[in-house]
Amino acid sequence: MSLVAPTLPAGRYRLRNVVRSEAIKVLTLPSTAITLGLTVVAGLLVTALVSHGASFRGFGFDSTQVALTGMIVAGLAGGVFGALLITGEYSSGTVRATLSATPRRPMVLAAKVVVTAVIMVGFCEVLSFASFFLGEAVLSGRGAPTATLGSPNALRAVLMTGLFIALLALMSFGFGLVCRNAAGAIASFAGVVFVLPLVMHAVSQSTVRYLPTNILANSVMSTVNQGGGPGGTGPLSAGVGLLLMAVYATAALVAGAVLFMNRDA
Amino acid sequence: MITAHALTKRYGTKTAVDDLTFEVPPGQVTGFLGPNGSGKSTTMRMIMGLDLPDAGSALINGKPFSDLTWPLREVGGLLDAKAFHPARTARSHLRWLAATNDIPVRRVDEVLDTVGLTSVGGRRAGKFSLGMSQRLGMAATLLGDPGVLLFDEPVNGLDPEGIRWVRHFLRGLAAQGRTVFVSSHLISEMALTADRLVVIGRGRLIVETSVADFVGRSGRNAVRLVTPDLPVFASALTGAGAELGDRDGDAVTVEGLTAAQIGDLAFHGRLRVHELTPITASLEDAFMELTHDEVEYRPSTLTGAPGAAREE
């Protein structure tokens, strides 16, 4: 019908096109470098300070756990980063440009999750190792007991801490997809990660161990074999804890995805 | 080619778009006219697959938007002048868009050049003026060199030079054989830009026609007469069956007679004529007449308001 004969290439746009586009989006936002850069500085600073001040004479000193303390900062930053990746699209209206270029919404969402996950896993793993080595160096300077990656469960703790924080960021991304604005998403994230533990501690001590914050501090970052399955009362084992966090992140993403597929953009 | 068939969108109990059927053919600028809140933007969002219709369909070259294989290469849409992240540069914005449809990066520089933004391509788009934002939006629509283009209120808030630029831009696209669909509530602008019109009010189609035909439909044709002999002339005119409209000093609007008939009256009655101008109804008049009952939010009595409207 058209006088301009559109010369369309064969096939159609694919996931790799959308993933490339999403990667360009993240990398061309100045806030990405700023957020991640500040996280490195703040995270390593916290690790250094805590390693410098931690008392190591008492019972139950866990050198690895202390050296990973700064990753809690990364958890906060990851939550903000994950939420902003999607809420920024809504606040700026970019989401409409995105869906006009690639209307298949499941594919758009998949691409965003892939890009967020790859960036966060890569970044958090590197930072986790950096935090570990820095913390151990500070501790060794004070004559405190130190750990190496060869120490029992140390490598597991370092690797899983990075993964756990990437999952926190994905959960926050899911919150962002549900709320579609930064204030709501970040408030939800802070509520779950920082406020919920306080409330649950007062209400029901036995459920505290299922909360993300407690899993991170007591199960994942710790090298002590907790062995606490769902039946016990102590902290969960690292594996169970990480798995539970994956369930939380998936639940948030699924809730967000259902809304994303059905709401007008 | 855009085809809307029985398109309907409801928000709660309110029907924003009501059983709307129309066609937008290639090679012409089709204006989409309607008062504010008449459903123009909602219709355009449904065509672009952003909102789901409750009933009916909107097709692009015979396909729903979601079935397009390379959407940016088939449709360019500018629905929102600021649909970009303010912190990203203009060039980066176009780069991620190009990547979605496998469009080569050199196209980014080409379209920046087309809209005259080459020199500010590296600047953050959030710092752009409204006119520059509109141009960036236009550049984005051109990335995939699509045959179908949609623009929602593209001249809103632009200065006269910007408006003129957009007009030439839209006409140029249509002249290349593309389908150009442009919404506006600025009727005078549509008179200069569009070939065809789709006019809606309260979400319903009022008329789909050519601009010339639309003006003709109004049927209000009058002649402006300026004469120092108005009292005598007036009785001669009414005697000949004319109706006299507003008077302003020596000037009067005459309906029911042609300029030629009035001129003949003057000749036979030895009456002086200082001005005799046929007035064709403007597009604006035609629009007002047709949408009079369809304006959703009409100011009630404006007594006491500055420049209070006269009752008709």
Q: What is the mean pLDDT of residues B169-187?
A: 94
- Contact predicate A77/A39, CB 8 Å: yes
User: From CA B71, how far away is CA A8, in angstroms rounded?
Assistant: 10
User: From CA B94, how far away is CA B106, in angstroms rounded?
Assistant: 11
pLDDT above 80: residue B171? yes
Chain A residue closest to B148 (CA)?
Answer: A2
**Interchain CB distance below 8 Å, A8 and B176:** no
Q: What is the mean pLDDT of residues A6-20?
A: 91
Best of B85, B123, B180 to disrupt the A interface (most A CBs within 10 Å) is: B85
**Interchain CB distance below 8 Å, B70 and A88:** no
Closest partner CB to B88 (pick from A21, A29, A96): A29
User: Can you say whether the dihedral through the CA atoms of A255, A259, A262, A265 is positive or negative?
Assistant: negative
Closest partner CB to A97 (pick from B95, B97, B146): B97
Which of A 79-98 lie inside 8 A of B, CB atoms?
Answer: 88-89, 92-94, 96-98
Closest partner CB to A20 (pick from B52, B66, B99): B99
pLDDT above 50: residue B307? no
User: From CA A262, how far away is CA B131, in angstroms rounded?
Assistant: 34
Chain B residue closest to A84 (CA)?
Answer: B85
- Contact predicate B74/B49, CB 8 Å: no
> What are the tens digits of pLDDT across the range A135-168?
999 999 999 999 999 999 999 999 999 999 999 9
Size of interface A-B (CB pairs under 8 A): 127
> What are the tens digits of pLDDT across the range B214-266?
776 665 668 899 999 999 999 999 999 888 888 888 999 898 888 899 999 99
Q: How far apart are the first and last CA of chain B?
A: 41
**Interchain CB distance below 8 Å, A3 and B95:** no
Task: Please give, rounded to a whole number of angstroms, the shortest distance from the CA of A15 to a CA of chain B.
Answer: 9
Chain B residue closest to A88 (CA)?
Answer: B85
Tokens matching residue B52:
């789901």
**Interchain CB distance below 8 Å, A92 and B97:** no
Closest alpha carbon to A36 in A149, A119, A93: A119
Percent of chain B with pLDDT over 90: 67
> What are the tens digits of pLDDT across the range B103-136?
999 999 999 999 999 999 999 999 999 999 999 9
Q: Does A21 touch chain B (CB under 8 A)?
A: yes
